[in-house]
Amino acid sequence: MKKFLALILALVMVLSFAACGNEETPNGNDDSEVLTNENIKIGFVHVSDPSDMGYTYNHDLGTWKMAENLGISEDQIINKYNIGEDEGCATAIEELVEAGCDIIFATSFGHGDYMTEAAANHPEIQFCHATGAQAAGSGLSNYHNYFTSIYEARYIAGVAAGLKLNELIANGTITEDEAVIGYVAAFYFEEVISGFSAFYLGARSVCPSATMITLKADSWSDPVKEGQIAQSLIDQGAVLISQHSDNTSPATTAEAAGLFHCGYNSDMSEAAPKASIISARADWSIYLTYAVQCVLDGEEIVTDWCEGYAEGANFTSPLNEAVAAPGTAEKLEEVANGIKDGSVHVFAGPWSGYYVWDNTPFECAEGEWVEESETQSAPYFGYIIDGITRLDA
């Protein structure tokens, strides 16, 4: 009986492969009328929803600012929230195509593979993927990557963190050796490494004895785990927490422990007024406005877009004076001016480290620096600097 069943099953399969061809389904986006700010439709695929008060919240702010800039109404924008980095992403993109979107943005790194496929299948629609790096290699003219050089704002936030550590050392709360920063990392790859290295170098530029320990959450957005990791870092000696993850739980965990914090994406001093010193933020509206304007004007969107601190694409939230060390504001202004005029390089030597994927040692001498975001918009700084310890690597 079983053999018979297996045989039938195999037969049916072979037959049905032979019988069916691959039909392309046409999409409903064939209207030939001219695009204006009154009929353009814009789709977004978000990895979480704005209730994270972090990454998606901040990207969403950019969306509404772009809509205001261009006079686009709310019902022309379709947001798909809580779309994971899996097959659900393909469905979400297809639904946006079906809804008639002329341009589709996806915000998370892991959406990249699905964006690449969708861009190939729908050449008449523009696809823009934040943090990704596949557009240039795909050779598709309707596929683009964007990011801001957020490492600049992180460096500035790092300086504020270093000054805080100096204050703690000066008033005897900790010794020089106890100036340990704890960093909640989402994953270990270039985007995250670039971020924590910039933050660390910023802190070390003012507090030479600073060291950093990191743990990864294996998720961009997991409020519970992010908080647990922050606690674990604190238990292992961290006195200041920073993060590359989407939620405010690391900030509130630091506050509950009576320690300090530097945030990402949103002004986290609202969630943790006694802990959060400053946050590195991106202003996504600059790119979104640019990209949508290009579609309206019928112009090409650049394949790799990356603007930085000087253009306002990234910035730091207002300094929380109640927590920051005295004199921080002046120092930050000096550093920020240096970044704007190009005299301060974030990844400047001297530092030594190793390349994350093959452990090759790397030395960056005094007076040299590693350039970031020149060849593509997604970060590609992949060195683990000595002084940073990945506890789980």
Partner 1 sequence: MISENTKKEPLVRIAKRAELSPKKAALVRFSSIIVALLIGGLLILALGYNPISVYGGIIEGSLLTPTALKATAKIAVPLLGAALAIAPAFRMKFWNCGAEGQITVGAIASTYFALYHVGDLPAPVFFVVTFIVSAIFGGLWGLIPAFFKARWGTNETLFTLMLNYIAIGFVKYLRIGPWMDKGQMFPKVPMFDRAARLPDVFGVHIGWIIVLLLVVFTYIYMTRTKHGYEIAVVGESVSTARYSGMNVAKIIMRTMFISGAVAGIVGWMLALGTNYTLSDTTANGYGFTAIVVAWLAKLNPFVMVLISAFLAVLQKGSNSIQTNFGIPASASEVLTGLILLCMLGSEFFINYRFVFRKKSVGGDD
The residues that touch partner 1, with contacts defined as CB under 8 A, are 1, 5, 8-10, 12-14, 16-18, 20, 22-23, 25, 49, 51, 79-84, 86-88, 91-92, 94-95, 97-98, 109-110, 112-113, 117, 133, 187, 189-190, 357, 380, 382
Smallest separation, CB 322 to partner 1 (Å): 32
Report the distance separating Cα 46 and Cα 63, nearest Å.
Answer: 12
Smaller CB separation from partner 1, 83 or 215: 83
Smallest separation, CB 94 to partner 1 (Å): 4
Smaller CB separation from partner 1, 118 or 282: 118
CA torsion, ordered 17, 21, 27, 28, to nearest 10 deg: -110
Instruction: Record the tokens describing residue 325, joined without a space.
Output: 């060390």
Beta bridge partners of 260: 240
Beta bridge partners of 42: 77, 103
Report the distance separating Cα 249 and Cα 230, nearest Å.
Answer: 8
Smaller CB separation from partner 1, 14 or 170: 14
Backbone angles phi, psi at 347, to 5 degrees: -95, 45
Smallest separation, CB 98 to partner 1 (Å): 5
Report the distance separating Cα 262 and Cα 388, nearest Å.
Answer: 17
Report the distance separating Cα 200 and Cα 198, nearest Å.
Answer: 5
Smaller CB separation from partner 1, 79 or 243: 79
Smallest separation, CB 305 to partner 1 (Å): 19
Smallest separation, CB 83 to partner 1 (Å): 8
Report the distance separating Cα 43 and Cα 144, nearest Å.
Answer: 15
Nearest in space to 192 (alpha carbons), one of 55, 362, 51, 90: 55
Nearest in space to 94 (alpha carbons), one of 141, 45, 56: 45
Smallest separation, CB 222 to partner 1 (Å): 12
User: How many residues are listed for the chain in this entry?
Assistant: 393
Smaller CB separation from partner 1, 88 or 349: 88
Q: Where are the beta strands (DSSP E) in the chain?
A: 42-45, 77-80, 103-106, 126-130, 143-148, 180-185, 211-216, 240-244, 260-264, 276-282, 304-307, 314-316, 351-355, 361-364, 383-385, 388-390
Smaller CB separation from partner 1, 195 or 382: 382
Q: Where are the beta strands (DSSP E) in 115-249?
A: 126-130, 143-148, 180-185, 211-216, 240-244
Smaller CB separation from partner 1, 134 or 293: 134
Smallest separation, CB 326 to partner 1 (Å): 41
Smaller CB separation from partner 1, 321 or 392: 392
Backbone angles phi, psi at 201, to 5 degrees: -65, -35
Smallest separation, CB 120 to partner 1 (Å): 11
